[in-house]
Chains A and B, each alone.
Chain A
């Protein structure tokens, strides 16, 4: 038998049927849904007159369009409110567990799912959201799908999928001081480009990856899609098992969860072959920041924007259009540039460790007067934990306020918009034109870099403020 990658092993275990010269019928273990990409799928079921096949395998949250203040009150925006109400009604009608706005376990789908112990090693997981790749941190095949596919899963618990190719990205060594998992994944994307992993499913490995916490691993897997990969996974280990045991103790009403023996063998065979391999030395990784309008346009924070003639395989006109949108020029230095907004949150960096990192950096300092900050926990439980740990007090003393959870300014479907022309240092995942509001200019960075910008009002190398 051919030595298998972990990806192949999980995939092959879930093939219900293989269509000759076509895609596989893949069984889905866990389906997550939210208010924005599910309504048309439920409409489809109604038009067909069919039920949800396995309602117990879908978990719903409201996260994308919701406000991050006054969640106790009705949502002001009428179409957003209706969309959330429609999700609630659909869940009730079809018997799907729903974590609504005022549910104590509500949160961004990719924060709440793992936190509540729904995401488990060896699973296939899908959601109508590209950042579903986050769940790969637990040794799962997890990827984003469209609404027609959401309907497929609701109707049959299966998807038609062609198997992607395999890529392994190995990062070895110890991360330097001030360098976070966000910087690691931004560095990788800057090397591979925004479309560089299209058609692939990634396995991340190496000592730098195994040294990361589960939260940090989720940040890495989360941004797999930003280089076009279908998803990215990390083989589970003791850290994974500890995280899951804790989640089950806290939220699944089952004080004793036994880790299945099988999970300990969830890793790629030593001689398994990958279609492509990349190896990176974490010594070379510094705090990163984006300068353009896709996540591949990133550099170390102390570098200058590259010159046009250094572009490889990218069109100069698209690249220059991007810089023009940002108000930047080639060979420009970004450190010292004035900024207007800071956003801490999202499914990339809205977890407790991210809040701790941000709070640790701003403690004893003050928010710069030119900065408006949006500090948004990824879930109700993250927000609660932050308060339990006293992070809210540290933040308040430094001039910051903890909001209520949601996707918020990451995609600005709610009121948390960055005004046109303004610069935002954001811990989210996309710096696309207008992503954080029409005309907004996003600089992606780690929570530490965001905190450094928040207290100085400028793009600042976080290593200078480390204590």
Chain B
């Protein structure tokens, strides 16, 4: 099964100026009883966006219509906590295709890459500047070029290089699927089991 490809994305963005945003905030546990991958977007950041009665919190930046786009910009250590992949599904289902931060929690990062959601890591100082800029100027457009590994803050004409594992990059650019790749290694895996005398 091939996945959707990621090459270039140009969009405005949604800033969430908090650090250590955990996956319980991204998608609260009570929504995890679903058994498909779809439909989590409406509950993205549920308890920040809505109050107890289900009404929208007007002071929540995620409800501020000035801020929209396909790129989420968040404080450091985004996606910490639970391993729930539902967090990535929720972010994607809500319409985001990339998340920018100064670093991501490991499991979230892997989950994102496995679903074609691009985690873009930029230096803390640039993240601070980007966050301030976007908060002040909601129309700020960003361009993410995966092949060149460049994030461009278009109005500032500032391009920042971001790192990504070359294998992961190829997978995203070409929409390749890890499981297909691993299934192709069955003989190697069986050889390994025989060599190590694994009891299967």
Q: Report if B149 contacts A (CB, 8 A).
A: no
Bound together, the chains give a CA A17 to CA B189 distance in angstroms of 9
Closest CB of chain A to B179's CB: distance in Å? Answer: 5
Which of B35, B105, B192 has the most CB atoms of chain A within a 10 A radius of its CB?
B35
Query: Given A152-B178, A228-B105, A413-B29: A162 and B82 within 8 A (CB)?
Result: no
Query: Given A156-B182, A195-B103, A438-B47: A17 and B83 within 8 A (CB)?
Result: no
Bound together, the chains give a CA A65 to CA B35 distance in angstroms of 13
Bound together, the chains give a CA A39 to CA B86 distance in angstroms of 12
A413 lies within 8 A of B30 (CB): yes
Q: Choose from B24, B81, B114, B188 the contact partner of A148 (Cβ within 8 Å).
A: B114
A438 lies within 8 A of B28 (CB): yes
Q: Choose from A17, A25, A77 the contact partner of B33 (Cβ within 8 Å).
A: A77
A151 lies within 8 A of B189 (CB): no
Q: In the assembled complex, which residues on chain A have CB atoms less than 8 Å from the CB atom of B166?
A: 21-22
B25 lies within 8 A of A433 (CB): yes
Q: In the assembled complex, which residues on chain A have CB atoms less than 8 Å from the CB atom of B183?
A: 50, 155-156
Closest CB of chain B to A86's CB: distance in Å? Answer: 6
A156 lies within 8 A of B179 (CB): yes
Query: Given A44-B179, A151-B179, A315-B19: A430 and B24 within 8 A (CB)?
Result: yes
Q: Report if B106 contacts A (CB, 8 A).
A: yes
Q: What is the count of residue pairs linking A and B with beta-carbon distances less than 8 angstroms? A: 189
CB contacts under 8 Å to A, within B1-45, are: 1, 17-20, 22, 24-25, 28-30, 32-37
Q: In the assembled complex, which residues on chain B have CB atoms less than 8 Å from the CB atom of A64?
A: 29, 32
Closest CB of chain B to A41's CB: distance in Å? Answer: 9
Q: In the assembled complex, which residues on chain A have CB atoms less than 8 Å from the CB atom of B181?
A: 160
Q: Choose from B30, B81, B86 the contact partner of A130 (Cβ within 8 Å).
A: B81
Q: Report if A54 contacts B (CB, 8 A).
A: yes
- B-contact 0/1 string along A340-355, CB 8 Å cutoff: 0000000000000000
Number of interface residues of B (CB under 8 A): 56
**Cβ-closest chain B residue relative to A159:** B182
Q: Choose from B20, B114, B179 the contact partner of A48 (Cβ within 8 Å).
A: B179
A156 lies within 8 A of B111 (CB): no
Bound together, the chains give a CA A13 to CA B192 distance in angstroms of 10
Bound together, the chains give a CA A48 to CA B184 distance in angstroms of 14
Query: Given A146-B114, A148-B114: A164 and B47 within 8 A (CB)?
Result: no
Query: Given A148-B111, A194-B77: A413 and B32 within 8 A (CB)?
Result: yes
**Cβ-closest chain B residue relative to A413:** B29
B188 lies within 8 A of A16 (CB): yes
Bound together, the chains give a CA A54 to CA B36 distance in angstroms of 24
- B-contact 0/1 string along A205-219, CB 8 Å cutoff: 000000000000000
Q: Choose from A27, A314, A318, A430 the contact partner of B192 (Cβ within 8 Å).
A: A27
Bound together, the chains give a CA A162 to CA B165 distance in angstroms of 9
B167 lies within 8 A of A17 (CB): no
Q: In the assembled complex, which residues on chain A have CB atoms less than 8 Å from the CB atom of B25?
A: 432-434
Q: Report if A80 contacts B (CB, 8 A).
A: yes
Bound together, the chains give a CA A228 to CA B103 distance in angstroms of 11
B22 lies within 8 A of A430 (CB): yes
Q: Report if A36 contacts B (CB, 8 A).
A: yes
Q: In the assembled complex, which residues on chain A have CB atoms less than 8 Å from the CB atom of B168?
A: 22-23
Q: In the assembled complex, which residues on chain A have CB atoms less than 8 Å from the CB atom of B179?
A: 44, 48, 148, 151-152, 155-156
Q: Choose from B32, B35, B82, B189 the contact partner of A82 (Cβ within 8 Å).
A: B35
Query: Given A160-B178, A411-B29, A433-B25: A22 and B165 within 8 A (CB)?
Result: yes
Bound together, the chains give a CA A181 to CA B77 distance in angstroms of 26
Q: In the assembled complex, which residues on chain A have CB atoms less than 8 Å from the CB atom of B88?
A: 146
A37 lies within 8 A of B85 (CB): yes
Q: Report if A92 contacts B (CB, 8 A).
A: no
A432 lies within 8 A of B24 (CB): yes
Q: Report if A435 contacts B (CB, 8 A).
A: yes
Q: In the assembled complex, which residues on chain B have CB atoms less than 8 Å from the CB atom of A37?
A: 83-85
Query: Given A79-B34, A430-B24: A198 and B77 within 8 A (CB)?
Result: yes
Q: In the assembled complex, which residues on chain B have CB atoms less than 8 Å from the CB atom of A413?
A: 29-30, 32-33
**Cβ-closest chain A residue relative to B48:** A433
Could you list some 30 contacts between A and B, CB below 8 A?
A16-B188, A16-B189, A25-B182, A25-B188, A40-B37, A40-B85, A43-B37, A79-B33, A83-B33, A145-B107, A145-B110, A146-B111, A148-B115, A148-B178, A149-B110, A152-B179, A155-B183, A156-B183, A157-B189, A160-B167, A194-B20, A199-B106, A228-B105, A230-B106, A296-B20, A321-B18, A411-B82, A420-B52, A430-B81, A434-B25
A21-B167, A25-B188, A148-B179 given; name 20 further pairs at CB < 8 Å: A21-B166, A47-B1, A65-B32, A77-B33, A86-B35, A130-B82, A146-B88, A149-B114, A155-B182, A156-B182, A156-B186, A158-B189, A198-B77, A198-B106, A199-B106, A228-B77, A228-B80, A294-B22, A420-B52, A435-B29
User: Interface on B for A, CB 8 Å cutoff?
Assistant: 1, 17-20, 22, 24-25, 28-30, 32-37, 47, 52, 75-77, 80-86, 88, 103, 105-107, 110-111, 114-115, 165-168, 178-179, 181-183, 185-186, 188-189, 192-193, 196, 198, 200
